[in-house]
Amino acid sequence: MKWKEGNKSNKGWASSVELNYQGTPYIPNMRQLLPLRDTNDPLNIFMGNPLLKNSFEHSLMFSYMTTERKIKHSLNLNARWHKSLNNIVMLSDYNSETGIRNYTPQNSNSNYWTNVDLGYTLPIGKGKHVWLRTNLSADYFEGEVMARINGAKSKNSGLLQNLKLRPSLSLNTHVGDFKLFLYWHTDFQTIKQRSSEDKYRTTRLSCSLRYNLPWPLELHSWTYLNIYEGYRGLSGDKTDSRWDLSLNKSFKLSKGRLYIGLKGYDILGQSKSLNTQITNAFRSETYSNVLPRHLLLSISYHINWTPKRKGISK
């Protein structure tokens, strides 16, 4: 269902509203239904469940956007809600004597997810060369964790709640041959279970700068900084930063275009090549053993195979 304001003048606010609903049925696959033991991994055994029911997902989306035509201010609000009936989740049963973990799919009605996103964009100055955008998003997930140890419910079994708030701010400017993009966001995340509560905070700062030098050469500088707080393990409460710088030049030839680029990776030598991800199902910390600070020269030639168009006679 959509609604849009019919005012066609170049002044005042123009608004639009959209509301969507979608219902999606899901049928368990044969691997989930058949009561056969999958022992390809001897320590992680999977068995189907013939008593599984079909699941159904309700999805509701609301969108509102309004724009002031003259001063170019805009406000947008997006909200989504998902609810699963008889959602298929995995029951984990760990045997402490043998070290074997058995997995069996089960139905659950405790899963739903909702998201709200609010943003406001406005130009700064009369020339409208600088744009500022503020944003606030909230995510909430609630689901059931089915975990057992030696047939009895473990301390982490039960309801899992995941709440994440993200305020963000970005600045984008384009004046002549100069382009600048600045960005900041901080994630405030709380994960609750029956026996624990963990709080995380991740801040990201980034800056992208492009400038066309007179020769002509394109200069591109890209910098980011990640700040981790509340983490344990590999990342700890650490920071991860990186600065890349590149020069690019193109030459127009008769049959195409030649591109030459020189890029310096991690110029300050501070990147830890660390990626931390926390979801409703897992927490992962990935460290990549990549080539440290280095220069890379790239040469590419793009051939234009498009045939020339002949004149059309009347």
Residue 92 forms part of a structural domain: yes
Q: Average pLDDT over the chain, rounded to whole?
A: 88
**Backbone region of residue 254 per phi and psi (left: phi > 0; alpha: psi in -120 to 50; beta: other values):** alpha
> Residue 262 — pLDDT band, cuts 50, 70, 90?
very high
Tell me if 309 is assigned to some domain: no
> What pLDDT was estimated at residue 133?
97
Q: Is residue 311 part of a domain?
A: no
For the ranges 85-99, 177-191, 283-297, the one whose mean pLDDT is highest = 177-191
* Mean pLDDT in residue range 218-222: 96
- 310 assigned to some structural domain: no
Q: Looking at the domain assignment, is residue 239 inside a domain? A: yes
Confidence grade of residue 70 (pLDDT, cut at 50, 70, 90): confident
Which among 196, 83, 80 is positioned nearest to 145, based on CA atoms?
196
Does a structural domain hold residue 214? yes
**C-alpha closest to that of 288 among 240, 246, 256, 252:** 240
C-alpha separations of 28 from 49, 98, 103, 113 in Å: 10, 30, 15, 21
What residues make up the domain containing 134?
A: 2-303
- Taking the C-alpha atoms of residue 169 and residue 99, their distance in angstroms, rounded to an integer, is 48
Mean pLDDT score, 263-269: 91
Strand, coil or helix: what is 30? helix
In total, how many domains does the chain have?
A: 1
Q: Is the pLDDT of residue 313 over 60?
A: no
Q: Which of 220, 201, 217 is nearest to 209 (CA)?
A: 220
Residue 51 DSSP code: T
What three-state secondary structure class fits 54?
A: coil
pLDDT value at residue 232: 66
- CA pair distance 300, 16, nearest whole angstrom: 46
pLDDT value, residue 100: 93
Under 8 Å between Cβ of 184 and 167: no
- Residue 314 within a domain: no
Report the C-alpha gap between 105 and 107 in whole angstroms. Answer: 7
